[in-house]
């Protein structure tokens, strides 16, 4: 969420910046609404002060033994005027909030133009995509052949875009999650949280999922309470500090959590319907960082390195791309995607997004900072996937498949799986 004064400042160049991401900002309408609210606030303050003076005048007149009938009538009129202006102020504030909540973050100027994957800018790459002397299978064929993925039974239970893993597949998923959490907590210094996966509307609004993306969320109700299933642990982790003031000298904070994530994928029908790439429910280890705005660039680099370390430790070939301005998520001002090589598709696919939100989320959630010298501001928030369990499983199966149909487990995971390979019949080998 923006400070409207910032958007109205010509130096911000908000209209041009938002146009880069396909959003048309009606600056005239915004200025009119902001001006109306400012005017009413001033009128309310003046009327309230006049009402207070009138109330004092009643007491003074009564002490002098004067007739206070006319004074009381004037005081009642002033009080009614204050109430009328306060209601106008509430209505205008609600209108302004509605407008501001629908305006996305301003994209960084260094992002490329465009609004598709093809417009992303290559930043770096790591590892050589594996070459095979056989036709590599995709993870669906591999998983079903090994007996570790069962999409038919998942569909029977819940419908399309759900998954069931079994045996070595379930063990491998558990191992991936444990490995990632230990990497982030023991080597990268994150604090691990076990979080609620059902949250309220203010929590979803704080990180930018609401009100714009309500159709993408799963919603439920318990005893007339409106609740939403989280699309990512970013939502509860960031909102841990909603409405709080953080000591600036204690920052940065780094939090991580492994949670199920739920997405309706509205508008994506027909895309990635095969396998584990785009599910309604999946597991993900999330990384969230809080810092002061002056530390945002450094913290972005730190967060990106932590996400990259996951893939390097697993020996998975990947590349990093800078998303185009028109392809950003609603709350982000810049995002780098980590894309892992999938031999079964013959292309790189996104496995992690690392985003800097500036103070956008903090303003929505009321996450402030205070320095020792008394300086106050809003926190800068960042988040990244570190990593999604399902897509990591996909990459491991596809990049480590063997000619006989077996899959070799990355050495970093062997202490957690306690097996080094999944044999063609789905059994595990030391």
Stated as kind and residue range, the H or E segment containing 165 is none
Whether 278 is catalytic is yes
319: left (phi over 0), alpha (psi -120 to 50) or beta: beta
Known active-site residue 263: yes
CA distance 395 to 378: 38
- Annotated active-site residue 350? The verdict is yes
Helices (H), 314-367: 360-365
- Asked if residue 2 lies in contact with residue 100, where contact means CB atoms within 8 angstroms, the answer is yes
Query: Pick the catalytic residue: 263, 319, 363, 421?
Result: 263
Task: Tell me whether the omega of the peptide bond preceding residue 358 falls within 30 degrees of 0, making it cis.
Answer: no
CA nearest neighbour of 341 among 391, 284, 413? 391
Pair type for strands 334-342 and 318-322: antiparallel
Say which of 334, 363, 391, 421 is annotated catalytic. Answer: 391
Name the binding residues.
232-234, 263-265, 286, 350-353, 383, 385
Q: Which residues are documented as binding site for ATP?
A: 263-265, 350-353
Catalytic member of 166, 174, 201, 278: 278
User: Which of 47, 51, 353, 406 is labelled catalytic?
Assistant: 353
Per the residue annotation, which of 350, 363, 398, 421 is the catalytic one? 350
User: Residues near 338 by Cβ (< 8 Å), separated by ≥ 6?
Assistant: 307, 308, 311, 318, 319, 320, 350, 351, 352, 353, 354, 385
Handedness of CA 180, 183, 188, 189 (dihedral sign): positive
Binding site for L-serine, by residue number, is 232-234, 263, 286, 383, 385
Enumerate the active-site residues: 263, 278, 350, 353, 391
């Amino acid at each position: 969420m923006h400070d409207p004064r910032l958007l109205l400042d010509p130096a911000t160049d908000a209209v041009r910046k938002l146009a880069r991401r396909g959003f048309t900002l009606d600056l005239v309408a915004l200025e009119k609404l902001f001006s109306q609210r400012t005017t009413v606030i001033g009128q309310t303050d003046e009327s309230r002060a006049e009402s207070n003076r009138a109330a004092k005048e009643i007491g003074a007149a009564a002490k002098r033994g004067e007739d206070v009938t006319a004074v009381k009538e004037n005081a009642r009129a002033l009080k009614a005027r204050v109430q009328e202006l306060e209601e106008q102020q509430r209505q205008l504030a609600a209108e302004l909030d509605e407008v501001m909540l629908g305006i996305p973050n301003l994209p960084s100027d260094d992002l490329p133009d465009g609004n598709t994957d093809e417009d992303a800018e290559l930043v770096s790459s790591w590892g050589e995509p594996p070459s095979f002397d056989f036709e590599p299978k995709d993870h669906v064929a591999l998983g079903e052949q090994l007996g570790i993925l069962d999409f038919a039974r998942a569909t029977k239970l819940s419908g399309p875009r759900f998954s069931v893993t079994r045996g070595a597949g379930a063990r491998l998923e558990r191992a991936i999650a444990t490995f990632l959490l230990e990497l982030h907590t023991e080597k990268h210094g994150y604090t691990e949280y076990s979080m609620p996966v059902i949250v309220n509307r203010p929590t979803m609004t704080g990180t930018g999922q609401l009100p714009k993306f309500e159709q993408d969320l799963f919603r439920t109700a318990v005893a007339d309470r409106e609740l939403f299933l989280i699309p990512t642990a970013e939502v509860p982790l960031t909102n841990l500090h909603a409405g709080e003031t953080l000591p600036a000298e204690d920052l940065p904070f780094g939090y991580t959590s492994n949670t199920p994530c739920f997405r309706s994928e509205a508008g994506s029908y027909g895309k990635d319907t095969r396998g584990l790439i785009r599910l309604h429910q999946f597991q993900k280890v999330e990384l969230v960082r809080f810092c002061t705005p002056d530390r945002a660039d450094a913290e972005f680099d730190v967060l990106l390195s932590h996400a990259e370390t996951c893939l390097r430790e697993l020996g998975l070939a990947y590349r990093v791309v800078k998303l185009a301005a028109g392809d950003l998520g609603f709350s982000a001002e810049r995002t780098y995607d980590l894309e892992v090589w999938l031999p079964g598709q013959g292309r790189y696919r996104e496995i992690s997004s690392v985003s800097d939100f500036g103070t956008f989320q903090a303003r929505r959630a009321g996450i402030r900072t205070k320095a020792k010298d008394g300086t106050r501001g809003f926190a800068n928030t960042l988040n990244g996937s570190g990593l999604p369990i399902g897509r990591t499983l996909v990459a491991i199966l596809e990049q480590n498949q063997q000619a006989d149909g077996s899959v070799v487990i990355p050495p970093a995971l062997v202490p957690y799986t306690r097996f080094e390979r999944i044999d063609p019949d789905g059994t595990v080998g030391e």
